[in-house]
Each structure stands twice: as C-alpha cells, then as structure tokens.
Amino acid sequence: MGINQGLRQEMRTLTATLRILTKVIAGLLAGVILIVLTAVILVGFTGFGANFAVQQITKRIASPDFAVHVGRVSAPLTGHFTIESVSVSDINGPYVAVEDVTLDWSPLALFSRRFVAESLSAQSVVLDRLPAAADGAPKEKAEGGGFSLPVGIKIDRFDFPQIDIAAPVFGEDYPLSAAGSVTALTKTISASLDARHRGRPETYVKADVEYAPADNRLDLEAEINEPQGGLVATLMQLPGAPALNIALDGDGPLSDWQGKVTAELSGTALGTIDIHHRLDNAGARMITVTGSGQFAPLTPEAFAGLVEGTTALDIAVTLSPSGRIAISKGNVTTGSFALAASGAYDPKGNNDLKATLNGVDGPVPFSWPMGEETLDLAIENASLALTGLPTMPIFRHP
C-alpha cells in the first residue's frame, strides 16, 4: 500500500514537472516567435527598423578598402521600397553614387522563391572612376559546377534615365540612359535593353533575348550603332573612329537555330557571317560559321595587316557532352594567310588535332604592341599537332 502511494506521488511529481517544462518551452517558443515577428515588423514595415538594419549591415561589410554608405530607406516589405542614396568607396574615396532608388515589388513572391518587381529605377547613377585594386586581395579560386541563382528574377521594367560615366573610365564623359526588362526563371530567360547616349541619340545599344530551353527556342536580336568618333570605335582603336553598325539577328528552335551577323562602317557593308547551331538526340552540339567580308577596317591598326583583303570563314565544330571537341572544318583565309585546322581534342580520350598556317603571298606580317616597343614578326608558315592522351599530350611543330 505504501509502495503504491509512493509510485502515485512520483507520477504526480513527474507529471507536474512535465507540465512546467511544457509551459516553459511553449513560453520560450512564443517569445522567440514574438521576437522574430517584432524584428520582421520593425525591419520590414517601419523606416526606423529598416534604417537600423542597413546601418548594421554596412558596418559589418566595411573594410579599409571597401565601404558602402546608404542614405535613408523606407520599409522594404510594404511593396514600395525607396533608397535615398547609395555610394561605394575604396581606399581613394567614393567612386560610385546612386540617387533616389525606387523598387515596386512583391514581397510575397519570395515564398515561391521568386523576386518579382513591377519596376526598378534610380534617378541618377554616377561612375567617377574604376575602383582601385586592393593590395593583397585574395584571388578567387575557380571551382567547378555551374552558376545558379538562389531565386528566380522577374523585373517588368528597369529605368535609369541618367547614367554619367566620367572621363577617367572611357577617356571622355559619357552620359547614358538605359531602360528594359529582365526575367530569369526556371524555364525562361529573357531580357530587353535600350541604352542610348543622352547627347547623341543615334548612339545606342539595343538587345532583345528570349531563351526557353524547355520550349526549344532561342530568339536573339541585338544592334550597336554610333556615329563617327563613337566609343566602340575608339575603344577598338579603329583609325579615324568611323561610324559603326553591328547587328546580330537569330531565331528558331535550339535544335536547328540560325543567326546572322552584319557589319557596316561609315554606311558601307563590310560583310556577313552566318551561324548555324544544331542539337542531336545525344546532346551533341554542331556549330557552323560561314561568311566573308572586308573586315580589316574593323581591326585595330596594329593587326589590320593580318586580315587585309577578303576574309572568308568556313568552320564546323561538334561539341560533345563528354567535352570532346571535333573540328571537321576549320578554314580561315584572308589576303595575308590561310589557316586550316582539323581533328579532335578529347579530355578523356585520344587527341588528334592539327593546324597549319601559310602565308598567301610570302611571310605574314604580325605586330604586337609591347608598351613603348613593338614586337614585329614575319611568319611564312607554321604547323601544330596535338596527339595522344590528355594526361601526356604530344605537341609537334614540324
């Protein structure tokens, strides 16, 4: 009898203890949830909390050669998020400044792992110079595996009406405007861009891309146009910086896609290059590039002699999923040289790759700027062969 009473007393004590522990744990969970909800509300739905969070983040990421200063922000989870200003600095001071950023977006879309915005804009973007290289900055190690976004992105419209790139970047002040849209979801990648020089509207870059691998479709249209003295011609070091137009147009299924590249200089057509991409059932990609034209005017002066006269391309390459690259045709001819390549490179098997270069009318002149000096070569003929396993390939240059 006394034993039973002792057991009942112990059971009551254990039950009471479990009840107390349950209440304590429930209270702790409720407290944690309340704290989290309070933090979310303060940070996400109040300007005070949002600004406090931004200050803490910018302090944590700051270093002697990198700092971000963010002006006042609004509550981000209301769907209408604004940032007064953002500036990025290095050891020499600020080099990028962005003013009046506005984002109209859907916070609830994040639950479906998508960033969805109706619009993204900034009243002004100023790039005074390129950032200084950090001393002793660690080099990033290249790793295998593809890059993938943690969330899908869909921005119906972005608009940056005033982008000012200062002379230290391109050698002259470059005022731009840019607008467009971008979508990067699981089954579709699409983007449109219309960027123009504010002082010279005939200087523009336009592009429309629609890539839908699940639907076996790629549509691509792009154009670069600028008058004489434009940025692209200047950067390419084209003599006289002539008026330039380069266009790319292609569409169709990925399994049988065709595209065309055309180029004009000062209103004169230079040539056309046709691109054909095919995909077989085994996943091998067959790419052919054919075309001809007078491309020397599009080449920097130091290398113009290599492509003088008519340049003709006749290239056919097969890329296998295993990494094997097979060249069935690799012919490039200009007024100066003829290059022929054939064979295959296989990182997992035997290699049998050959290439020959011959001058058309004597040695091929070649100049390579080296600071204040120039390396001048004259190549009459050359050949190269790569044979054997990838672990111990054999190079031959007869």
In this prediction, residue 392 carries a pLDDT of 54
- The mean pLDDT value for 336-346 works out to 92
In this prediction, residue 15 carries a pLDDT of 62
Query: For residues 231, 236, 238 and 240, what is the CA-based torsion angle, rounded to 10 degrees?
Result: 20
Ranking 149-153, 272-276, 290-294 by mean pLDDT, the lowest is 149-153
Share of the chain above pLDDT 90, in %: 47
Residue 178: CB partners within 8 Å, gap ≥ 6?
A: 158, 159, 160, 163, 193, 194, 195, 196
In this prediction, residue 202 carries a pLDDT of 92
Amino acid at 294: Q
| DSSP three-state, residue 79 | coil
- Please enumerate, as own/partner, the contacts of 94-101 that have beta carbons within 8 Å and a separation of 24 or more: 94/69, 94/128, 95/127, 95/128, 95/129, 95/130, 95/131, 96/125, 96/126, 96/127, 96/128, 97/124, 97/125, 97/126, 97/128, 98/122, 98/124, 98/125, 98/126, 99/123, 99/124, 99/125, 100/124
The three-point CA angle 76-78-79 to 5° equals: 85
The sign one gets for the Cα dihedral 266, 242, 179, 218 is positive
Model confidence at 142: pLDDT above 50: no
Model confidence at 138: pLDDT above 70: no
In this prediction, residue 388 carries a pLDDT of 80
Separation CA 290–CA 316 (nearest Å): 9
Residue pLDDT, tens place only, 63-116:
988 999 999 999 898 999 999 999 999 999 999 999 999 999 999 998 888 999
| Under 8 Å between Cβ of 131 and 90 | yes
Split at pLDDT 50, 70, 90, the class of 145 is very low
Separation CA 361–CA 352 (nearest Å): 29
Separation CA 82–CA 101 (nearest Å): 6
Share of the chain above pLDDT 70, in %: 83
Residue pLDDT, tens place only, 231-279:
888 877 787 889 999 999 999 998 999 999 999 998 899 999 999 999 8
Ranking 51-60, 68-77, 145-154, 244-253 by mean pLDDT, the lowest is 145-154
Averaged confidence pLDDT in the chain: 84
Split at pLDDT 50, 70, 90, the class of 367 is confident
* Cβ burial, residue 296 (10 Å; 0-12/13-18/19+): buried
| DSSP three-state, residue 58 | helix
In this prediction, residue 216 carries a pLDDT of 87
Domain regions of the chain by residue span: 62-130+150-176, 187-279, 285-398
- The mean pLDDT value for 52-68 works out to 89
Ranking 77-81, 211-215, 299-303, 350-354 by mean pLDDT, the lowest is 299-303
Ranking 12-21, 133-142, 215-224, 303-312 by mean pLDDT, the lowest is 133-142
Separation CA 54–CA 58 (nearest Å): 6
pTM, two decimals, is: 0.78
Tokens for 92? 């020499």
- The mean pLDDT value for 198-224 works out to 92
Q: At what angle do helices 2-45 and 47-61 cross, to 10 degrees?
A: 90
More confident residue, 249 or 171: 249
76-102 as b/e: b if 16+ CB within 10 A: bbeeebbbebbbebbeeeebbbbbebe
